[in-house]
Amino acid sequence: MSHITEPSAPPEPGAAQRGGYRAAVIGTGFMGRVHARAIRVSGGRVVGVAASTPEKAEAALGPLGAERAYADAAALIASDDVDVVHVCTPNHLHAPLSLAALAEGKHVVCEKPLSTDADTAARMVAAAADAGSVATVPFVYRFHPMVREAREKVRSGAVGRITLAHGSYLQDWLLRPGDDNWRVDPQLGGPTRAFGDIGSHWCDLLEFVTGDRIARVAAQTSTVNGSRGSDGGRPVDTEDLVTLQFTTRAGVVGAAVISQVSAGRKNRLLLEVSGTEMTLSFDQEQPELLWQGGREHSRLLMRDPETLSPAAGRLARVPAGHAQGYQDCFDAFVADTRDAIAGDTPDGLPAFADGLRAARVAEAVLASAQEDTWVEVAE
């Protein structure tokens, strides 16, 4: 007998075909490749790819496992062969491409931030509803089983009344003035960079785990590298880091630090929630674990299907003790999107409304930093 315990709800290879997931990807960078792999793992076909040039789309056929290179995004969106459009371009194209795809009756998976402004994000939510399309946003950290476990402990009351939430999302890939990327340019990335890019994940995870909503924020931003580029000479004013205080609707107080210039921190998303009964702490770089703190005793919970709640266990994709991570989250997210298209209502699937929510929080954070005051988050 094997000593390995299988996940309680292993992925179902056959069911992947349901709904005939015919997806196409716009954008061939890191995210385009992650999406394409998740589509294939979920039993879908990557029927097409489009990029900023036809040559780039051709070159991406192999790496994405795509069947056809389209001349441009418009041709891909117009194609009758495509049911689901995955928008993985620089941020400023998210809204126009998603709106075009929805107008063609497609389902859409759009990278975050949904739009570089909240009002446009609201139009996208309305357009998805009008089209009757499934429209999702990859807030993929929701798909770590230990995040679901934390959420279940809050839901069951085991945590007690939540009193405090805090944490950080820290990276270092933009540490030096020579580090550059389209995200740095507000024309392509939008007016908020560190917050829009990764702070949005942190706030989404906080609200997802606690079931509460951030009501008001007091933020500071800082641009550490005022100029960037290979010669370090291009002026930059999007923020490298954000510190944030907040109060939730339920009256929880909290704080978060968001940084893309923290040396040595690669992708460290830490969320800690304290209640009157216990504290839960999740670190995205140790995603197999959830720390559960108590006055009498504390323990590290492992991603073990034998002990996980069903809501968490269903996301276990490999047996306990075999680490699962970032791509697995994407695979689970795309599988749930596929099931939503087939008519299911998967628990915790992040939709365009969640992308709008992130855009509203981002606008409040920027306004607070600019006006040096507390700002209410618009509903």
Footprint on this chain of ligand SOE (rule: CB under 6 A): 171, 197-198, 201, 267
> Are the beta carbons of 306 and 312 closer than 8 angstroms?
no
By beta carbon distance, the residue nearest ligand SOE is 197
Closest separation between CB of residue 198 and ligand SOE, Å?
5
Closest separation between CB of residue 247 and ligand SOE, Å?
26
Cis ω before 13 (30° cut-off from 0): no
Closest separation between CB of residue 28 and ligand SOE, Å?
15
Q: Could you give the 3-state DSSP secondary structure of residue 60? A: helix
Closest separation between CB of residue 181 and ligand SOE, Å?
8
Closest separation between CB of residue 264 and ligand SOE, Å?
16
- Give the C-alpha separation, 131 to 41, whole Å: 27
Return the number of the residue (319 or 325) whose C-beta is nearest ligand SOE.
325
- Return the residue matching tokens 């002990």: 307
* Kind of pairing between the strands at 107-110 and 241-248: unpaired
Closest separation between CB of residue 317 and ligand SOE, Å?
18
- Give the C-alpha separation, 46 to 26, whole Å: 11
Return the number of the residue (5 or 181) whose C-beta is nearest ligand SOE.
181
Return the number of the residue (68 or 265) whose C-beta is nearest ligand SOE.
265
> Are the beta carbons of 138 and 355 closer than 8 angstroms?
no
Measured CA to CA in angstroms, residue 143 lies from 43, 204, 268, 378 at distances of 18, 12, 16, 27
Q: How many other CB atoms are found less than 10 A from the CB of residue 226?
A: 12
Residue 173 in tokens: 């890939």
> Are the beta carbons of 174 and 240 closer than 8 angstroms?
yes
Return the number of the residue (246 or 330) whose C-beta is nearest ligand SOE.
330
Return the number of the residue (70 or 141) whose C-beta is nearest ligand SOE.
141
Closest separation between CB of residue 324 and ligand SOE, Å?
16
Return the number of the residue (70 or 333) whose C-beta is nearest ligand SOE.
333
> Are the beta carbons of 116 and 91 closer than 8 angstroms?
yes
- Give the C-alpha separation, 341 to 349, whole Å: 12
Return the number of the residue (201 or 303) whose C-beta is nearest ligand SOE.
201
- Give the C-alpha separation, 57 to 209, whole Å: 38
Tell me how far apart the terminal alpha carbons of the chain are, to the nearest angstrom: 54
Return the number of the residue (116 or 171) whose C-beta is nearest ligand SOE.
171
Closest separation between CB of residue 80 and ligand SOE, Å?
31
